[in-house]
Structure 1
Amino acid sequence: MLSPVENLPVTEEETHLSFGEVISLSVQNLIAFVSSHRPWLELLALGSMDRPTSFSSAVSRSKLNLHHFLVNYSLVAAVSAALFLIGDPTALLIIASFAVMWLLLCFCRDHPLVLYGRHVSDRVIFFGLIVGSFWALWLTHCFLSLVLGIVAGALLCLVHAVLRNPDDLFVQEEQVVVPSNFLHWS
């Protein structure tokens, strides 16, 4: 997410980015984020499921797994919310369009938004998206279904995060050995 516009240095090149170019860059950032998910077979490895031995073990497991499978869990929660909204296709399309707008205009944007030669502040974008989202929820009467879908997806992810033994997941980044250039001839 961007820092406030007052603290953000704006280059001459960025002032000439059109709305479409900013959205295109945001889509590229979103694709890069989604493509960083872990393999689904690693997530669903049944051989690494077991009960934690204590509450502190469950908490540490859930922290490691939530961090490691963040993108996968986000996709599971989004699919769960979509499944709860599938009974009302209009609500599903409206909520999905607002979710895409939130992703593109707030979370995946790394350039300031310029419309008609003027910078649009993050406050205006947030206010517009919040008002628009509440309007969409009120218009479609799907708030309860959406909340139930998100809660069901979050609970499913939390249960998986507690039961998944993270011992075979990965090597901590701090423990990775950096290869030396001993045999490197350049």
Structure 2
Amino acid sequence: MTTTYGTIPSSPPPKLEYITRAKQRVKAGLGTRRPWKTMLDLRSLAIPDGGISEAISRVRVNMAYFRMNYAMVMLLILFLSLLWHPISLIVFLLLMAAWLFLYFLRDQPLVLLGRLVDDRLVLIFMAVLTVALLLLTDATLNILVAVVVGVVVVVVHAAFRMTGDLLFEEEEAAVAGLVPNSGAARS
């Protein structure tokens, strides 16, 4: 009769395996966002020299580059505004599950009715759905103020964040409309 006392199992027990997979998926999903250190680098903040046109250009580039980070900032501001409205907070937490499933933690592109859905479209749909459903609760003023504050914070950051140090991949830059799509020219 052999004993297995003192041996270490080679794989986690079945119940822990689900937790391990969930942790890996969260890390992989949130890994698509840009590093907060890059986004919040104080050395990269400066008043646009070229006036309004440069500020608009910076906003466009930064919005494309830090899209997921900006979505998280907006959702955090919205969450903080709902802390004293329990019904709205419950609705928000349910919507956060949808955000996690449809936007933050997806590891494959979203396909709906056999068509590939762009991340920007998912972001816009989820933002509109979140605000619309929250407006059905009795926290309308809080929600509208939070959305305005969030938009101001994001646009001000995007306008003052210099874009010279951002590293776009060729595909990302083409999708963001920052350079012509060179893949189409090669075909």
Is 2:51 the partner of 1:45? no
Q: After TM superposition, give the deviation of residue 150 of structure 1 in Å.
A: 1.9
Name 2:53's counterpart in structure 1.
56
On the 8 A contact 2:74/2:150 being kept in 1, the answer is yes
Q: After TM superposition, give the deviation of residue 151 of structure 1 in Å.
A: 1.8
Pairing of 1:79-158 with structure 2 (within 5 A): 79-101=76-98, 104=101, 110=110, 134=133, 137-138=135-136, 140-158=137-155
Equivalent residue letter for 2:31: S
Residue 41 to residue 88, structure 1, CA distance change in 2 (3 Å): same
Aligned length: 131
Distance 1:66 1:46 in 2: 18
On the 8 A contact 2:65/2:168 being kept in 1, the answer is no
Residue 110 to residue 162, structure 1, CA distance change in 2 (3 Å): closer
On the 8 A contact 2:82/2:139 being kept in 1, the answer is yes
Name 1:181's counterpart in structure 2.
none
Equivalent residue letter for 2:64: H
SS, match of residue 63 in structure 1: helix
Name 2:66's counterpart in structure 1.
69
TM-score normalised per structure 2: 0.57
Q: Alignment RMSD, CA only?
A: 3.5
Distance 1:71 1:92 in 2: 22
Distance 2:29 2:90 in 1: 22
Runs of 5+ unmatched residues, structure 2: 1-24, 114-124, 174-187
Q: Say which of 68, 75, 78 aligns to 2:75.
A: 78
Q: After TM superposition, give the deviation of residue 86 of structure 1 in Å.
A: 1.0
Distance 1:62 1:137 in 2: 28
Instruction: After superposition, give the CA deviation of every residue in 1:107-158 in whole Å (9 maximum; x if it has no partner).
Output: 9684669xxxxxxxxxxxx9xxx6xx64x643x3012212221221111010
Runs of 5+ unmatched residues, structure 1: 1-27, 114-125, 176-186
On the 8 A contact 1:95/1:137 being kept in 2, the answer is no
SS, match of residue 42 in structure 1: helix
